Structure 1
Amino acid sequence: MTTGSLARQVGVSPTTLRSWDRRYGLGPETRDEGRHRRWMPGDVAMVLDMCRLTAAGIPPAEAAKAAKARAEADGPVGPPLALSASRSGSGLPLGDVRQECRGLARAAVRLDAVAVQERLVAAVTAHGLVAAWEEILAPALQAVGRKWASAGERYVEVEHLLSWHVSATIRHVYVSAASARRMPRSAPVLLACMPGEQHTLPLEALNAALAERGVPTLMLGAAVPADVLEAAADRVGPSAVVLWAQSAATAGLALARHVAAASWGVRGARTHSRVLLTGPGWGRAAHPALLHPPGLREALAALDAPQTAHPRQSYGA
């Protein structure tokens, strides 16, 4: 493999690979007659180790020493499976983000599923779900989404890989929290994507965060038809209804107002549910009976606040 090909595969620049070779001796053993670098499978495995270690915050010199020691201990290796299927390049538009977010994005670009899962678990363990979502997971998802939008189909596999592992990590938090404590038999918070809306990850994050706080929830997931949403609300009488819309095309304000106006419970003791409009699809839509929190923290605060609270805007990836 040439230096340019390897750089595109692992998500770093050719200059970085040459610098690692020059400074730390982290280069290929084989070179052609023109002294061009030719990276063999063992060399590629060593570079992947270097990428994982530096993305985790280890200084390059220490990372290179560890990568070389592991390569010497492991001996010859076959073709790296993660790279043979990868078509993704580098340069995700991350901006000013935490180092953990950069490491997660780089692992996703490399299609390194093991590293992606390790980064996600480490982020949630170190920072908690809410901070990890807002500062690491969501920015990485947003960057991949922007890259996909600008690069056509080239980054679809990266987004699918990252989304699947983020969902798996969040659901593990939910299951662990729900099984660790006995949820009260009170009216749940109902969470649903608007009809036609498939983006569920921000709602999954809110669902898991509520479970950590001992709040009962009813998660209906993606693309919930209007009649199904109304029937579910009528059956459980939710304390609040959280509606997610990623795009303006799925943000049906009429349905949201209808849910907010409906009453639940037995005759003589019927109540209304607070409705939270979440997601960028709602824009500046407003209604006196509807809440509009800007982020995951604000959504959690809005669900704890008195009925008169009216935070604005929307949140999510």
Structure 2
Amino acid sequence: MDRVPQTPPPPQTPPPPRPAAALSTGAVARRLGVSPTTLRSWERRYAIGPARREPGRHRRWTPGDIARLELMCRLTADGVPPAEAARAALGGAPEAPEAPEAPEAPEAPGAPRARRAEAAPSTAPGGPDALPLGAVRPECRGLSRAAVRLDAPTVAELLEAALAEDGLVTAWEEVIAPTLHAVGRKWATVGERYVEVEHLLSWQISAALHRIRPLPEPPRSPPVLLACVPGEQHSLPIEALTAVLGQRGVPARMFGAALPAEALRDAVRRTGPRTVVLWSQSRTTADPALARSVAGIEWGLRGARARPALLLAGPGWGADAPAPRTERLYGLRSGLAVIESLAPPRAATGAAGAGPFACGS
């Protein structure tokens, strides 16, 4: 009996690829380091907006849309007028290609600046002036772009968004500190050129930290005293620590940059702090003799004398503690945990007649 040939099953059509996730205007603004108002202005003036919009819904930006915006940001950061940058971005930005394109032949010397920027976009977002960030969050890249452009309003807006969405500790560790370090590395490689970027960014960070309102202090609770050693002008890290202590309701007294040695010792005697945090950015400002002096300060009645716990923060200090009851702090999150572990019990802080709390080491 002859076998009836079986009809092969029709080939299965592979499922269509899932479209890439589209981002909101706010998310795109944080990634690029521009304000949402700027994006809306570009869309209104230059028609550089989302390629597709659904009626009644918020704008959603696809990878192709974002590629155009990134090119426009690079061109404007390079000095190209926004109208010309928009025309170049709309005419030459890739529509989220599946694979990288082959490199083009180099442009002849003297080619128009906008054309050179369009033909060979920098691999570092922001163009040749971009900061060396490495693998960081998009919010960090957006903040760095705004800082390089000296766009103070956008820097302030991005800082506020990071603090509101991530909280101070995470925003500092994942957005603010990496950008500050990148500015420092760029400054070290190109000389004085990026000092203005560092100063603007530092000022905006300090202003954002000062806008954080602390919780009310518990009554009669000994404070944490924070200061930079004499000659040390970099105070942002302990400004961040002061702000997060305030958010936790921990009393803090911040004395800022370059506090003279005798003023520091007087402040310790007058406040009776449970903890003293001394910041040193470099080995040239770290002073082990001053640390030993502060760690040895006593106050209170004879027979019940108290001393502060001394915490040394910053890369200027060596690994070895220069005095007893001294500890090194490494990072904002771990430093906060150490300070909170030295906190007196809540019941003790409200006891009538309680004197300065003697911290254990």
TM-score, normalised on structure 2? 0.62
Say whether 1:225 aligns with 2:260.
yes
Match for residue 240 of structure 2?
Answer: 205
3-state SS, counterpart of residue 226 of structure 2: strand
Q: Residue in 1 aligned with 2:93? A: 23
Give the 3-state SS of the residue equivalent to 2:303 in structure 1: coil
Choose which of 156, 159, 171 in structure 2 pairs with 1:132: 171
Equivalent residues of 1:291, 1:302 under 8 A apart: no
2:139 aligned with 1:100, yes or no? yes
Q: Counterpart of 2:211 in structure 1: which amino acid?
A: H
2:214 to 177, 197, 200: 177
Distance 1:100 1:4, change over 3 A: closer
CA drift at 1:4: 8.9
Q: Does 1:8 align with 2:78?
A: yes
For 1:297, the equivalent position in structure 2 comes to: 333
What is the CA–CA distance in structure 1 between the aligned matches of 2:89 and 2:181, rounded to whole Å?
Answer: 30
**Residue 19 of structure 1: CA displacement?**
5.9
Q: How does 1:43-58 map to 2 (within 5 A)?
A: none
- Percentage identity across paired residues of the two chains: 53
Distance 2:111 2:195 in 1: 36
DSSP-derived class of the 2:225 partner: strand
In the alignment, structure 1 segments of 5+ residues that lack a partner are 26-33, 40-53, 56-87, 310-317
Structure 1 residues 140-183: Cα deviation after superposition (integer angstroms, max 9, x where no partner): 0111011112111110111111000000001111xx224xx344
Runs of 5+ consecutive residues of structure 2 not aligned to the other structure: 1-72, 96-109, 116-124, 343-358
**Counterparts of 1:17 and 1:246 in 2: how far apart (Å)?**
46
Determine the C-alpha separation between the residues in 1 that align with 2:113 and 2:185: 33
Output the CA distance in 2 between the equivalents of 1:283 and 1:17: 55
Cα separation, partners in 2 of 1:168 and 1:187, compared to 1, 3 Å: same
Q: CA deviation at 1:257?
A: 1.4
Q: Aligned partners of 2:206 and 2:74: how far apart in 1?
A: 33
Q: Judging changes above 3 Å, is the alpha-carbon distance between structure 1 residues 116 and 241 closer, same or farther for their aligned structure 2 residues?
A: same
Tell me the TM-score normalised to structure 1 length. 0.70
Distance (whole Å) between structure 2 residues aligned to residue 23 and residue 116 of structure 1: 26
Q: CA deviation at 1:266?
A: 3.3
Q: Which moved more, 1:300-309 or 1:267-276?
A: 300-309
Measure how far apart 1:90 and its partner are: 1.8
SS at match of 1:277: strand
Residue 129 of structure 2 aligns to a residue in which SS?
Answer: coil
SS across alignment from 2:171: helix
Using the alignment, how far apart are the partners of 1:265 and 1:196 within structure 2? 31
**Offset at residue 21 of structure 1 (A):** 3.7
Aligned CA distance change for structure 1 residues 8 and 161 (closer, same or farther; 3 Å): same
For residue 78 of structure 2, what is the amino acid of its counterpart? Answer: R
CA contact (8 A) 1:9 1:89 kept: no
| Change beyond 3 A, Cα 1:292–1:4 | closer
- Could you say which residue in structure 1 is the equivalent of 2:180? 141
Contact 1:184 1:215 in 2 (8 A): no
Code of the aligned partner of 1:122: A
Instruction: Give deviations 1:13-65, integer Å, cap 9, x for gaps.
Output: xx99966641379xxxxxxxx995769xxxxxxxxxxxxxx99xxxxxxxxxx
- Cα deviation, residue 114, structure 1: 1.2
In the superposition, relative to structure 1, how do residues 151 and 268 fare at CA in structure 2: closer, same or farther (>3 Å)? Answer: same
Who is 1:78 aligned against? none
More helix by share: 1
- For the pair shown, the structure with the greater C-alpha radius of gyration is 2
